[in-house]
């Protein structure tokens, strides 16, 4: 059984705060909350710290905190109310859809039901010192949500995962604000998808080829989904709508997943799809950049409506 990885060591000069009272080298008391800098890293794992008034103390890692983290803990988090992430998702979801194999038409008997959602944090959640979380895992298994502002930010960058959430055929929740979000789908679509989809697949295939050299076989399920992403991007660039359900490509992709397709054939298909993307972007009806102004104006309007409702 391997031991857990060690936390990174604090380099000399790191500003720290004492978490408890300790004695300095002369035996005098240094009070909790005293500030200093890491002066050195000792062989026994402890740190030599010099306080701002010139005193030297030797401390274990758990006896010190990074100055900025300590300030946040004591000055903000200790007194500010904590948001309930599960309640934000349960009570304020505006849109949610099933993604993954079930939405892609690639499900098997063992496939999970992966749900992705968008929640609108109410205006008062932004009025305190601690903003609401930008994303939440849960409260149900295989459920992940983004706060509306963060979702819009990532979707404008042509993040493949978020664009496919917007176009999933398996919608499980949609409020009037969710309907407005779906109506904005054309504003998120742009030729930027050529770089984001292509770049992600290329980076992942570099890792997969390393796995292939080391282990003799890649993770075939991951390979399948990367090929599916290229198909999705090709349709997005050609029509403005990504391919979510793979339709006629199902059997070919499942053959890749099972390892029944030779790596040379997989690589040839990938390269052909990259070429298709290059051709598609040259004639794409999509704009060069997403409609940030439209999305920003809509988000401001949604926030204003939320604030007005809170103030009634």
Tell me, what CATH number does 163's domain have?
3.30.460
Helix, strand, coil abundance in the chain, percent, nearest 5: 50, 15, 35
Q: Give the per-residue pLDDT at 52.
A: 92
Supply 282's token pair. Answer: 């040259």
How far apart are the C-alpha atoms of 162 and 99, rounded to whole Å?
10
- Sequence-separated (6 or more) residues with CB below 8 Å from residue 63: 18, 19, 20, 22
Domain that holds residue 248: 193-282
Q: Locate tokens 């240094």: which residue? A: 30
> If phi over 0 gives left and psi between -120 and 50 gives alpha, with beta otherwise, what is residue 13?
left
Blockwise average pLDDT, block size 10, the chain, 312 residues: 56 92 91 91 90 93 86 61 87 96 89 94 90 90 95 96 95 98 97 94 90 88 94 96 94 96 94 96 96 98 96 88
Residue 117 burial (10 A CB sphere; 0-12, 13-18, 19+):
buried
CA proximity to 197, closest of 237, 224, 166 = 237
Q: Give the per-residue pLDDT at 2.
A: 40
Task: Look at residue 31 and tell me if it is in a domain.
Answer: yes
Task: Look at residue 291 and tell me if it is in a domain.
Answer: no
> What global pTM score does this model have?
0.75
Q: Give the per-residue pLDDT at 216.
A: 86
For the chain, how many structural domains are there in total? 3
Q: Give the per-residue pLDDT at 75.
A: 57
Residue 28 burial (10 A CB sphere; 0-12, 13-18, 19+):
exposed
Residues 100 and 146 in one domain: yes
Task: Look at residue 38 and tell me if it is in a domain.
Answer: yes
Task: Look at residue 121 and tell me if it is in a domain.
Answer: yes
Q: Give the per-residue pLDDT at 78.
A: 56
Q: Give the per-residue pLDDT at 4.
A: 40
């Amino acid at each position: 059984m391997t031991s857990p990885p060690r936390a990174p060591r604090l380099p000399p000069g790191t500003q720290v705060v004492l978490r408890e009272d300790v004695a300095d080298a002369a035996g005098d008391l240094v009070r909790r909350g005293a500030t200093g800098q890491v002066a050195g890293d000792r062989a026994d794992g402890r740190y030599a710290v010099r306080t701002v008034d010139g005193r030297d103390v030797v401390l274990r890692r758990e006896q010190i905190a990074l100055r900025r983290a300590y300030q946040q803990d004591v000055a903000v988090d200790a007194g500010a109310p904590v948001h309930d992430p599960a309640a934000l998702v349960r009570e304020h979801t505006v849109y949610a859809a099933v993604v993954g194999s079930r939405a892609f038409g690639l499900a098997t008997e063992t496939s999970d039901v992966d749900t992705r959602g968008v929640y609108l944090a109410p205006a008062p959640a932004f009025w305190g010192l601690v903003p609401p979380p930008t994303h939440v895992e849960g409260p149900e298994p295989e459920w992940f949500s983004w706060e509306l502002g963060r979702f819009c930010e990532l979707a404008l960058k042509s993040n493949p995962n978020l664009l496919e959430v917007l176009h999933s055929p398996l919608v499980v929740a949609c409020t009037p604000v969710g309907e407005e979000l779906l109506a904005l789908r054309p504003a998120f679509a742009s030729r930027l998808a050529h770089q984001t989809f292509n770049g992600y697949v290329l980076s992942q295939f570099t890792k997969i080829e390393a796995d292939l050299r080391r282990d003799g076989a890649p993770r075939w399920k991951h390979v399948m989904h990367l090929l599916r992403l290229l198909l999705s991007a090709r349709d997005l660039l050609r029509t403005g709508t990504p391919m979510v359900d793979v339709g006629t490509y199902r059997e070919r992709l499942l053959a890749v997943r099972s390892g029944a397709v030779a790596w040379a054939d997989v690589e040839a298909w990938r390269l052909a799809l990259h070429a298709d993307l290059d051709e598609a972007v040259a004639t794409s009806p999509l704009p060069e950049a997403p409609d940030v102004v439209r999305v920003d104006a809509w988000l401001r309007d949604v926030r204003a409506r939320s604030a007005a409702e809170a103030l009634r």
